[in-house]
Structure 1
Amino acid sequence: MEDLIIEATRSSPEIRFDAAARCLMLRGESYPENAAAFYAPVFAWVQALLDALQPGESVEVELEIGYLNSSSTKVILNLLDLLDLAARNGASIRVTWRYDPQNETALECGEDFSEELTAVEFRLVELEARP
């Protein structure tokens, strides 16, 4: 399985998915014109990863998204639902939502996402101040 790397733009996050490490990272802002189309390769990659997951293997997901528009919020929630389904079926999945302490909206968004999940280990982690 190939890694998936998509560079950030003004309106879309950086995406770094490492197949060997089973580590998924999204970082940046997310308000692409067509969120469903932008995230389609992400869903395909995650589904392929989950399909290939062996017993005892885990998946790490790191999300650091400062702003999401409504269509991106829906897509990210669908992605988290896909991961939660895999976790309910026995996969070990941990999601870390990193947020800027100055961005209350990002914290609330992470809290809202965490309330929707039943089997994924979901952690909210405050980013440290950058000099």
Structure 2
Amino acid sequence: MATLDIAKTTSTPRVCFDAATKILHIDGESYPENSFEFYGPVLAWIRAYLAERHALDLDINVSYLNSSSTKCLLDLLDLLEEGHEQGDRVSVVWRYDRDNPRSHSLATEFQEEVTFPFSIAAYED
């Protein structure tokens, strides 16, 4: 399985997979010019990875999402939900900013969309 490591920019998060821990990290702000172009390879990677019946934990620490990035992350959660329904062990830890009540409510909205383990935690500086 090909590795996944996309560098962080001012408008896109770092996306990297740690094969040792089986954790996919998404960290940073997400407001690319074209969210679907940015997240397309990530979604394709997840689809292929789960097709091989691997466990996957997702650790998200995104401080800002534009509306198209929100849609892409919902698509990502849909892939994890499909994997979960097929018996794959998947989970999410969504990290939020304690000083931004909207970031916690957004995490809660995402959590309500899935049936697999999804925890919400304040991120530490």
**TM-score, with normalisation over the residues of structure 2?**
0.94
- Tell me which amino acid in the other structure corresponds to 1:124: I
Secondary structure at 1:110 match in 2: helix
Query: Which residue number corresponds to residue 50 of structure 2?
Result: 50
- Tell me which amino acid in the other structure corresponds to 2:88: A
CA drift of 1:19 comes to 3.9
Runs of 4+ aligned residues of structure 1 deviating over 3 Å after TM superposition are: none
The total of aligned residue pairs comes to 125
Secondary structure at 2:15 match in 1: strand
**TM-score, with normalisation over the residues of structure 1?**
0.90
The answer on 1:122 being equivalent to 2:118 is yes
Query: Which residue number corresponds to residue 85 of structure 1?
Result: 82
Aligned mate of 2:92, from 92, 95, 101: 95
CA drift of 1:105 comes to 1.7
Whether the 8 Å contact between 1:31 and 1:69 is mirrored in structure 2 is yes
Structure-1 separation of matches of 2:99 and 2:86: 37
Unpaired stretches in structure 1, ≥5 consecutive residues: none
Two-structure CA RMSD over aligned residues (Å): 1.2
Secondary structure at 1:16 match in 2: strand
The answer on 1:36 being equivalent to 2:3 is no
Structure-2 separation of matches of 1:113 and 1:100: 15
